[in-house]
Amino acid sequence: MQKLVEKNGFDHVSVTILMKETGIHRPTFYEYFQDKYDLLAWHIDDTLTDIIENNIGYLPWREIISLTFFEFDAHRRFYKNCVQEQHEIDLAAKISIHLQIMIDQLPAKQATTAKKNAAWLQLLTLGSGQAIIHNLLSEHPVDYEILVQQTIQALEITIV
């Protein structure tokens, strides 16, 4: 899906084209997904799970944030197309949910502080997702490392 969306745009990728490109039959596709939006939601969740949840316990949370922002920068064309050409999947909310899962898994002291600041953290993670989207759509995007540092600083103020 990602390569097709990067090449043609989300609007120009149909289930029929996806099936043709992947060799999947229509009944098989609909056994797993309702439509291309459902596939997109799954793809985004799967990617964020790989980057965030699957690295909890292996990488420091700051590196996980960096990897997350790098993903969106490295695949800018795909995510930009998805944001511009569809409005069913809230990308900022998806990012926020996965970042909150990571925050919930922080060591005990940080997790306790995070729970006390849950409302702030929800706003902060939504804001991080929105910053990624804004940067995707910007004619003059900021280097993703700057956004990473801003997000890390904001989280450190809230959870450390």
CA dist 49 and 154 (Å) reads: 22
Q: Which two tokens stand for residue 30?
A: 């609909």
List per-block mean pLDDT (blocks of 10 residues) for the chain, which spans 160 residues: 91 93 92 95 97 95 96 96 94 95 77 70 90 95 95 85
Question: What is the per-residue pLDDT for 35?
Answer: 95
Write down the H helix ranges in the chain: 2-8, 15-22, 26-32, 36-51, 61-74, 76-85, 91-104, 108-116, 118-137, 144-159
- Report if pTM > 0.75: yes
Amino acid present at 100: Q
Question: What is the per-residue pLDDT for 108?
Answer: 63
Query: Using alpha carbons only, what angle is made at residue 65 by residues 64 and 68, rounded to the nearest 5 degrees?
Result: 85
